[in-house]
Copies of this chain bind each other. A is one copy, B any other.
């Protein structure tokens, strides 16, 4: 691989001159610049990002922190962020916090020490003090935190729609799954649903899940049918949870959607592969990722922000775990 010294030698100039040309700093004669550029091209020289970032105090790196890459919702977010960043010539490094506060802080350190120029965090920890006083901007994704810019989907509307669609289709004894208490996005969808349910004459129960992990999903599914066997409709807090409920219902010989309707939340790619395919509230994960990336780039470029907090709409995806509306007159 060619070094800066090779470039200097070929161009017949000093290393300092090449460095000035590379970093657009200090005076350099136009002819000299052309010589340097020619040498760079001919040698296919790629300036070491570390050296450049030290010199210019700027890298082209963005850190993306995900709470749990096993949950298929987050890879979708990541792809949106990544595609937008790539179009702007920025590179992404992804950290997986695994729902552990310690790992999250470690990753923020790694990001810092590698001179990222911004972070997008989909953290699910309440404690966000380690995001204060950073030398670069932070955008929260699928989360909100204090005064930070953020991109998220409309949870209140999502919960409300789920409740409406379920009641419209005839469920009268609904169990609501409440996601982790500390997540505002999870609580919004729960509140939206419960507020709507209270407008109708239907019975309901609530079960709270401590996390969005696979293990908790399976545990809750088993408990639900023991505690509330009369349930004829489940509004889940995410699709993984809904998939676990669907599995457990079918295992118990409960007919879905005839005896039990289920509505998920997220619309992960696997939801349409389940059988019956999962009816769900779709969060536009890929678009959310794109929007977060756009927002961060605007902040890095010191552009005036029209909106600091961007809320995207959600939609009901009707598949086979809910009945057809006409069937219930």
The chain A residues found within 8 Å of chain B, CB to CB, are: 1, 46-51, 53-54, 59, 61, 69-70, 72, 75-76, 78-79, 82, 86, 91-96, 98, 103, 106-107, 109-110, 112-115, 135, 214, 217-218, 240, 243-244, 246-247, 250-251, 269-270, 272-275, 277
A94 is contacted by which of B93, B109, B250 (Cβ under 8 Å)?
A: B93
| Complex partner residue of A113 from B48, B98, B273, CB under 8 angstroms | B48
Report B-chain residues with C-beta under 8 Å of the C-beta of A109: 46
Question: Once the chains are docked, how many angstroms separate the CA of A218 from the CA of B269?
Answer: 11
Main secondary structure of the interface of A (DSSP, over half): helix
A1 to B50, CA, bound (A): 20
Tell me the nearest residue of chain B to A75, going by C-beta: B69
- With A48-B113, A93-B94 known, 11 other A-B pairs at CB within 8 A are A46-B112, A50-B53, A50-B115, A82-B98, A86-B106, A91-B107, A214-B269, A214-B273, A246-B273, A247-B277, A250-B275
Quickly give the copy total for this chain.
2
Residues of B within 8 A of A218 (CB): 272-273
A247 with B274: CB separation less than 8 A: yes
CB-contact partner of A54 in B51, B110, B112, under 8 A: B51
Cβ contacts under 8 Å, A270 to chain B: 72, 214, 243, 270
CA distance A75 to B94 in the complex (A): 12
Q: How far is the CA of A250 from the CA of B276 in the complex (A)?
A: 8
A189 to chain B, nearest CB (A): 21
Q: Once bound together, how far apart are the Cα atoms of A318 and B274, in whole Å?
A: 19
In the bound assembly, the distance between CA atoms of A135 and B244 in angstroms comes to 47
Given A79-B96, A94-B96, A113:B49 Cβ within 8 A: yes
> Least Cβ distance of A307 to chain B in Å?
28
